[in-house]
Chains A and B, each alone.
Chain A
Amino acid sequence: MSDTGQQTTDATARVTVVIVDDHDVIRVGVRESLEKDIEVVGEARDVESAIDAVLDAKPQVVILDVHLPGGTGGGALDVLAEILTGPGSPRVLALSVSDSAEDVVATVRAGARGYVTKSISGPDLSDAVRRVASGDAVFSPRLAGFVLDAFGAAGGEVAAKDEDLDKLTAREQEVMRLIARGYTYREVGAKLFISIKTVETHVGKVLHKLQLSNRNELAHWAAQRRIV
């Protein structure tokens, strides 16, 4: 399953992860599909044990299911509130079975740096973990589509300045569109004649906007999930 591990292991060091999911089958599946350079240092099945496991094992990345039992009922949000305490906190990759990105936007706004669905393939998941570990954002096609929708890109809204948190710049929209079409970051770069690093920068900015924007659509979804 993870025969490609050797090829994809480059100069980067091993990545440590904690897997949080209330279904045993999913946890086992995720652990086995991760490639060899990613080391699972802990597992948890509810909010309390997740907080303990993360504070205990201090992983670089937490793979976090959006829906979790325990805590105050907020699922992943409860965990994020406890483990994202400042510099040195682990980075979080949200894992969801749900098709609706609305379900995940609250998690992203609470600090997760990416979102993948549980149907993701092993190599893709490993890539996503490495990407998150190195500080980049991970956008699945669905999340990219959701971002375009939520930021009114289809309605022709374009940010005039980079600092406008409520709209995407023309370049960011192009990048999001290609990701929604199923392009990898490398393919996006090739198509737009920019480097992967630049693609990552654009995606990072979009993540930043997704987390901080006060656009009505986003605020609405956040309110539904009881976060501000």
Chain B
Amino acid sequence: MGVAFLAIAGVLIANRFGVDGLEPWIIPSIVFALGLALVWSPLDRVTLDDARRPKLSGLFERDAWARFLLGLAMSIGVLWWFAMWDFTEDPVQRAVAVPLVVLGAVVLILAPWWLRLIRQVGVERQERVREFERAEIAAHLHDSVLQTLTLIRAKANDADAVTRLARAQERDLRAYLYQDRRTEEESVVTALALAVNAVEDAQGIVVDVVSVGDAPTDERLWAAVKAAREATSNAARHGIGPVSVYAELTAHTYQIFVRDSGPGFNPAEVPSDRLGIKQSIIGRVERQGGAASVQSAPGERTEVSISVPREVQQ
């Protein structure tokens, strides 16, 4: 600032004593530049703190107002002088040039303020959005996690219930945090996950689901998902956890493998009046032109393979 005032003093002195050989517009230009610097100078302080979060309230402390007004006065003075200046005899040229130059000068003076204002509005909007999101998250956590924790505390003596509650809440929270939420109809991955989750909740076991590929759930895929649900439910009832479910969707087929961790059984010895495997798994996918089979033996893991062909949609 000191330098600027010295310069102003220099200009004033030069003006008073008159300097020969200078173009007449040089000194007004310098004065205008200084005026600009003065008008802009309060903005420096704001950007110094943090360019992204200007403090407009802190703008006009101490001498900032004075500098701003002085700069404004200098600029306007120069423009006034320019409007009076006979730089050409042609009145048309003057009539065009003067408004243009004055307009340009005004834009120059106000541009940084204008930009700052726009940025400030942007920052404020961002903050509002963030605030809104935070409120949303808080509301969600309150309705889900906190409620579940209360339930868990109430049922602390019932280990099964606690496990089930914790698992269901974990899944809910994961879905909220990590997944874009697609419906069962839009996504066979979601359909399978929900079907398996239902079994998890009903039977209180842990099932790992891995899916590769995705598509809208058509009739055949639904059949496969329902068969997989039945197979998972069987694994939960007769086998031990953890149960793995792997689904792979290619252009031609949809395959699901459901595998438990033992203890296995002899498929040939299943009484023929037990309809679970035959009807709900094999029959269901065969009606859709698919196939299902059960590999198991006593002491081994049991794996149910389900496969349906896809109608290729173009």
On whether the two chains bind one another, the answer is yes
Known: A145-B210, A180-B210, A182-B208. A154 touches B174 (CB 8 A): no
**CB proximity of A188 to chain B, nearest CB, Å:** 13
Query: Chain B at the A interface: mostly helix, strand, loop or mixed?
Result: strand
Q: Judging by beta carbons under 8 Å apart, are A99 and B174 in contact?
A: yes
Q: Which residue of B lies closest to A141 (CB)?
A: B210
Q: Judging by beta carbons under 8 Å apart, are B246 and A182 in contact?
A: yes
Known: A98-B178, A99-B174, A181-B259. A155 touches B210 (CB 8 A): no
Q: A177 to B210, alpha carbons, bound, how many Å?
A: 10
B184, CB-defined interface residue at 8 Å: no
Q: A186 to B251, alpha carbons, bound, how many Å?
A: 31
Q: Judging by beta carbons under 8 Å apart, are B248 and A177 in contact?
A: yes
18 A-B pairs, CB-CB below 8 angstroms? A99-B174, A100-B178, A103-B178, A141-B210, A141-B244, A144-B210, A145-B210, A145-B212, A149-B212, A154-B213, A155-B251, A156-B251, A180-B210, A180-B212, A180-B248, A182-B242, A182-B257, A182-B259
Q: A8 to B143, alpha carbons, bound, how many Å?
A: 45
A225, CB-defined interface residue at 8 Å: no
**CB proximity of A155 to chain B, nearest CB, Å:** 7
Question: Contact flags (1/0) for A143-176 with B, using CB distance below 8 Å?
Answer: 0110011000111100000000000000000000
**CB proximity of A192 to chain B, nearest CB, Å:** 15
Q: A155 to B214, alpha carbons, bound, how many Å?
A: 11
Greatest chain A CB density within 10 A among B242, B246, B259, B301 is at: B246
Query: Which listed residue (B211, B244, B251) contacts A182, Cβ 8 A?
Result: B244
**CB proximity of A157 to chain B, nearest CB, Å:** 11
Q: A155 to B259, alpha carbons, bound, how many Å?
A: 24
B303, CB-defined interface residue at 8 Å: yes
Q: Which residue of B lies closest to A183 (CB)?
A: B259
A142, CB-defined interface residue at 8 Å: yes
**CB proximity of A147 to chain B, nearest CB, Å:** 9
Q: A142 to B244, alpha carbons, bound, how many Å?
A: 10
Question: Contact flags (1/0) for A87-113 with B, using CB distance below 8 Å?
Answer: 000000000001110010000000000
Find chain B residues with CB under 8 A from A154 CB.
Answer: 212-213, 248-250
Interface size in chain A (residues, C-beta < 8 A): 21
* Other A-B pairs beyond A141-B210, A181-B257, 13, CB < 8 Å: A99-B178, A100-B178, A100-B179, A103-B178, A141-B208, A142-B210, A145-B211, A149-B212, A155-B250, A156-B250, A180-B248, A182-B208, A182-B257
Q: A136 to B244, alpha carbons, bound, how many Å?
A: 23
Q: Judging by beta carbons under 8 Å apart, are B246 and A145 in contact?
A: yes
Query: Which listed residue (B206, B242, B246, B301) contacts A180, Cβ 8 A?
Result: B246
The A-contacting residues of B in range 176-197, CB under 8 angstroms, are: 178-179
Q: Which residue of B lies closest to A103 (CB)?
A: B178
The B-contacting residues of A in range 52-88, CB under 8 angstroms, are: none
Find chain B residues with CB under 8 A from A148 CB.
Answer: 212, 248
Q: A156 to B259, alpha carbons, bound, how many Å?
A: 24
Question: Contact flags (1/0) for B134-173 with A, using CB distance below 8 Å?
Answer: 0000000000000000000000000000000000000000
**CB proximity of A186 to chain B, nearest CB, Å:** 12
Find chain B residues with CB under 8 A from A142 CB.
Answer: 208, 210
Greatest chain B CB density within 10 A among A141, A145, A181 is at: A181
Q: A100 to B211, alpha carbons, bound, how many Å?
A: 11
Greatest chain A CB density within 10 A among B206, B210, B257 is at: B210
Q: Which residue of A lies closest to B259 (CB)?
A: A182
Q: A155 to B248, alpha carbons, bound, how many Å?
A: 10
Q: Which residue of B lies closest to A150 (CB)?
A: B212
The A-contacting residues of B in range 205-233, CB under 8 angstroms, are: 206, 208, 210-213
Find chain B residues with CB under 8 A from A141 CB.
Answer: 208, 210, 244, 246
Q: A181 to B211, alpha carbons, bound, how many Å?
A: 10
Q: Which residue of A lies closest to B171 (CB)?
A: A99
**CB proximity of A50 to chain B, nearest CB, Å:** 24
**CB proximity of B89 to chain A, nearest CB, Å:** 64
Q: A182 to B212, alpha carbons, bound, how many Å?
A: 14
Greatest chain B CB density within 10 A among A100, A141, A153, A156 is at: A141
Q: Which residue of B lies closest to A148 (CB)?
A: B212
Q: A142 to B189, alpha carbons, bound, how many Å?
A: 14
Q: Judging by beta carbons under 8 Å apart, are A153 and B244 in contact?
A: no
Q: Judging by beta carbons under 8 Å apart, are A181 and B246 in contact?
A: yes
Q: A142 to B206, alpha carbons, bound, how many Å?
A: 15
Greatest chain B CB density within 10 A among A153, A156, A180 is at: A180
Find chain B residues with CB under 8 A from A99 CB.
Answer: 174, 178
Q: A154 to B213, alpha carbons, bound, how many Å?
A: 7
Find chain A residues with CB under 8 A from B301 CB.
Answer: 187
Q: A154 to B212, alpha carbons, bound, how many Å?
A: 7
